[in-house]
Amino acid sequence: MNKDKTTFFIGDVSLDEYYSAPYFPKPNDKVLLQTLPAQMGGSIANAACVYTSFGPSASFLTALNHGPLSQRLCAGLNRQNIDTTHMVWDETLPDSKCIIIITGDENTVLIPTLNLQAMEISEATFEALCHSDYIYSTFCELRPLRYQGMNAVETLKRIMRTGCRLWCDLDVADVQDGDEPFFELVDTMFINDFGYERLAQHVSGNPVEWMVGKGIQRVVVTHGDRGCTLFSSADELRMPGIPVEVVDVTGAGDTFCSAFLFAHTSGLDVRQCAEFANAAAALAVTAIGARAGAVGVRRVLEFMMDHGIDTAPYGFLATD
């Protein structure tokens, strides 16, 4: 593993408030919820924690107020070997929380917006981003990025010139007007089935072909328990999923993406990256919590062996 690789995760960190319900309520309905223990969460923070559980360190950037909950969230990241010295503090923002309702083997995630319009980064943070090898984020989290009068796209273009590569999770494809320039900056894009269908409504023709045409090197479409499909300008690869008993799917996509990124930075080929990421995500859904995938390399390899997968190509990853 190349421990010299530096990665910035830009995005949300929150307190996930969990509830279970016999069913998800319909309009004008009323249902009793059972309160479950809260968990540290936030899509990008979850991905960062899974990534660092495999060995490398990372830096985290988002905007929060300076209250007790924010300090608790940052302390949680620090315990996972994630640097939070580049955080932007904005006292006008509310506390960052997320509501997750579990119904059987499905969950519904309600994300209150912080109404963040602009996240002005310092010169030191900009320089740190320019010296990083990878940035992992989403369009939603990148839109507020600002630096010395430049908008997010202009700021990222400056950063990308240094050789940094942008990896994004398009997830459910919450694409807005004006987002098209972001696609041209992305090196690797992740998108789930629902997001793929939504993106098809915004672009002409095949969404994957459209994204590859924008210069994206790899497009990874995730299919939940059915695995994933990888696309590039020259190839297509389908990797089946691993059947498991599902407890909580929260954070499965974040686990997949960060595990794939870790495998890539470690020098594995795309098939091995997909196989390792599939296993990490399948293992994650067998426990409750959005960071259930932050278990380290050895645990993922044990899970792979238990499911008949040859782990010889991955042995060098387990350095702990």
- Rounded to whole angstroms, how far apart are CA atoms 293 and 83? 20
DSSP class of 268: -
The answer to whether position 16 is within a domain reads no
Sorting pLDDT into bands at 50, 70 and 90, what band is 178?
confident
In the predicted model, is pLDDT for residue 174 greater than 80?
Answer: no
Q: Give the tens place of pLDDT for each residue, 213-238.
A: 999 999 999 999 899 999 987 789 99
For 232-287, the pLDDT digits (tens) are 877 899 999 999 998 888 889 999 999 999 999 999 999 999 999 999 999 999 99
Q: Is the pLDDT of residue 320 over 80?
A: no
In a domain, 12, yes or no: no
Question: Looking at residue 312, what is its pLDDT?
Answer: 93
Instruction: Please give the tally of structural domains in the chain.
Output: 1
Residue 6 domain flag? no
In a domain, 63, yes or no: yes
Task: Report CA-CA distances (Å) from 113 to 117, 207, 265.
Answer: 11, 28, 32
CATH number of the domain enclosing 221: 3.40.1190.20
Q: By three-state DSSP, how is residue 176 classified?
A: coil
**Residue 87 pLDDT class (50, 70, 90 cuts):** very high
Q: What is the pLDDT of residues 46-65, one digit of tens each?
A: 999 999 999 999 999 999 99
Q: How far apart are CA 168 and CA 136, in angstroms?
A: 6
The first and second tokens of residue 202, run together, are 């915004």
Q: Is the pLDDT of residue 33 over 70?
A: yes
- Cα–Cα distance list, 264 to 118, 125, 151 (Å): 32, 25, 30
Q: What is the mean pLDDT of the chain?
A: 92
Task: Answer for the pair 236, 219: CB distance below 8 angstroms, yes or no.
Answer: no
* pLDDT, average across residues 86-99: 95
Residue 5: the pLDDT is 62
Both structure tokens of 256:
């997949």
Question: What is the separation of C-alpha 35 from the centre of its chain, rounded to a whole number of angstroms?
Answer: 26
Strand order in the sheet with 165-171: 82-83, 58-61, 7-10, 134-137, 165-171, 186-192, 218-222, 228-231, 236-239
12: pLDDT strictly greater than 50 = yes
Region 7-24: mean pLDDT is 93
Rg of the Cα atoms in the chain: 19
Helices and strands (H, E) in the chain, number of each type:
11, 18
Residue 11 falls within a domain, yes or no?
Answer: no
Residue 109 domain flag:
no
Per-residue pLDDT for 2 more than 70? Answer: no
Tell me the sheet residues that pair with 61. 10
Residues 6+ apart with CB under 8 A from 201: none
Q: Is 3 exposed, middle or buried (0-12, 13-18, 19+ CB in 10 A)?
A: exposed
Q: What is the spatial distance between Cα 284 and Cα 253, in angstroms, rounded to a whole number?
A: 10
Strands (E), 11-96: 14-20, 34-35, 39-41, 58-61, 63-64, 82-83, 88-89
C-alpha to C-alpha distances, 260 to 42, 160, 247, 269, 275, nearest whole angstrom? 19, 21, 22, 10, 9
pTM, rounded to two decimals: 0.91
What pLDDT is attached to residue 3? 46
The partner residues of 188 in beta bridges, in order of sequence, read: 167, 218
Q: Is residue 96 part of a domain?
A: no
The pLDDT of residue 4 is 54
Task: Determine, yes or no, domain membership for 213.
Answer: yes
Residue 175 banded pLDDT, cuts 50, 70, 90: confident
**Containing structural domain, residue 304:** 44-91+116-314
